Structure 1
Amino acid sequence: MDHVDQGIFDGYLSARGRWRRKFLQASSFLGVLAAVEPWFTSLAQAQESGAGPMRRSQPDGRVHVVPSTEETVRLGVFDATLPPILSIESGDTISFPATWSHFLNEMQPGVPIGTLAQLRVSNPGRGPHSIIGPIAVAGAEPGDVLEVRYQSIRPYEWGAVFNNPGSLGTGLLPQDYAQGQIKYVDLDLGAMTGKFMPNISIPLKPFQGTLGVAPPDGYFPPLSPGVTSSVPPGPHAGNLDLSELSEGSTLYIPVWKPGALIYTGDSHAVQGDGEISLTALETRLKELRIQIILHKQKNLAWPVAETDTHWIVMGLDKDLNAAMTLAARNAIKFLATRAKISELDAYALCSIAASFRVTQVVDIVRGVHALIPKAIFASDLRRKMTVV
Structure 2
Amino acid sequence: MKTSRRKFLHKTTRNGLAALSLGGITTDVSNLIAGHDAEPAMPPLESMLLKPDHVVRSVPENMVYGYFGADVPPVYKVKDGDVVEIQTVNPSGVSRTNPEEFYAKNQLPVDAHAQEVIAIMKNVKPEPSGIRGHMLTGPVYIEGTQPGDSLEIRILDLTFPAGFGVNSVWPGGGGIPDEVKTRETFVYRYDAKRKVALLKEGVEIPLKPFMGVMALSPPSETGRVSSIPPGFFGGNLDIKHLTKGTTLHLPVSVPGGLFTTGDGHGAQGNGEVSGVAIETAITLTVKFIVHKGKTLKLPRAETPTHFIAVGLDKDLNKAMKNALSEACAFIRDELGFTFNEALSIASTAVDFEVSQVVDQTLGVHAMIPKSIFTNKKFAYWQ
TM-score, normalised by the number of residues in structure 1: 0.75
Rounded Cα–Cα distance in structure 1 between residues aligned with 2:347 and 2:326? 14
- How far has the Cα of 1:151 moved from its partner? 0.7
Rounded Cα–Cα distance in structure 1 between residues aligned with 2:184 and 2:279? 14
- How far has the Cα of 1:91 moved from its partner? 0.4
* Counterpart position of 2:204: 201
Amino acid at match of 1:213: L
Rounded Cα–Cα distance in structure 2 between residues aligned with 1:125 and 1:111? 29
The size of the alignment, in residue pairs, is 311
* Counterpart position of 1:280: 277
1:97-130, Cα deviation, whole Å (9 max, x unpaired): 4x21136965755669xxxxxx9xx989544411
Gap change, CA 1:246 and 1:105, over 3 Å in 2: farther
* Counterpart position of 1:232: 229
* Counterpart position of 1:160: 166
Q: State whether residues 209 and 240 of structure 1, in contact with CA within 8 Å, keep that contact through their aligned partners in structure 2.
A: yes
Amino acid at match of 1:211: M
- The SS at the match of 2:240 is coil
1:60-110, Cα deviation, whole Å (9 max, x unpaired): 99611111111110211114323211111100011124x211369657556
- Equivalent residue runs for 1:50-69 within 5 Å: 63-69=53-59
- The SS at the match of 1:351 is helix
- How far has the Cα of 1:382 moved from its partner? 3.4
Runs of at least 5 residues in structure 1 that lack an aligned partner in the other structure: 1-39, 44-59, 113-118, 220-225
Q: State whether residues 74 and 104 of structure 1, in contact with CA within 8 Å, keep that contact through their aligned partners in structure 2.
A: no
Rounded Cα–Cα distance in structure 2 between residues aligned with 1:152 and 1:74? 22
Gap change, CA 1:104 and 1:275, over 3 Å in 2: closer
Match of 1:145 among 146, 150, 173: 150
Rounded Cα–Cα distance in structure 2 between residues aligned with 1:111 and 1:74? 27
1:139-181, Cα deviation, whole Å (9 max, x unpaired): 11111010001111012210111023x2xx3322221112111
Pick which of 99-108 and 337-346 moved more: 99-108
Query: RCO higher in 1 or 2 (8 Å CA, sep ≥ 6)?
Result: 1
Rounded Cα–Cα distance in structure 1 between residues aligned with 2:350 and 2:134? 32
Q: In the alignment, does 2:314 pair up with 1:308?
A: no
Runs of at least 5 residues in structure 2 that lack an aligned partner in the other structure: 7-49, 107-121
Match of 1:383 among 372, 375, 378: 378
* Counterpart position of 1:365: 361
Match of 2:76 among 66, 73, 86: 86
RMSD: 2.7
Pick which of 123-132 and 206-215 moved more: 123-132
Identical-pair percentage: 36
Q: In the alignment, does 2:91 pair up with 1:102?
A: yes
Q: State whether residues 75 and 103 of structure 1, in contact with CA within 8 Å, keep that contact through their aligned partners in structure 2.
A: no
Match of 1:262 among 247, 259, 283: 259
Q: State whether residues 89 and 137 of structure 1, in contact with CA within 8 Å, keep that contact through their aligned partners in structure 2.
A: yes
- The SS at the match of 1:336 is helix
* Counterpart position of 1:353: 349
Rounded Cα–Cα distance in structure 2 between residues aligned with 1:126 and 1:233? 14
Rounded Cα–Cα distance in structure 2 between residues aligned with 1:131 and 1:104? 16
- The SS at the match of 1:382 is coil
Gap change, CA 1:367 and 1:218, over 3 Å in 2: farther
Gap change, CA 1:352 and 1:297, over 3 Å in 2: same
Rounded Cα–Cα distance in structure 2 between residues aligned with 1:282 and 1:104? 10
Q: In the alignment, does 2:218 pair up with 1:215?
A: yes
* Counterpart position of 2:114: none
Q: State whether residues 109 and 184 of structure 1, in contact with CA within 8 Å, keep that contact through their aligned partners in structure 2.
A: no
* Counterpart position of 1:5: none
Rounded Cα–Cα distance in structure 1 between residues aligned with 2:94 and 2:181? 26
Amino acid at match of 2:72: L
Q: State whether residues 71 and 220 of structure 2, in contact with CA within 8 Å, keep that contact through their aligned partners in structure 1.
A: no
* Counterpart position of 2:62: 72
Gap change, CA 1:196 and 1:103, over 3 Å in 2: closer
Q: In the alignment, does 2:286 pair up with 1:290?
A: yes
Rounded Cα–Cα distance in structure 1 between residues aligned with 2:52 and 2:136? 23
Match of 1:132 among 112, 125, 137: 137
TM-score, normalised by the number of residues in structure 2: 0.76
- The SS at the match of 2:241 is coil
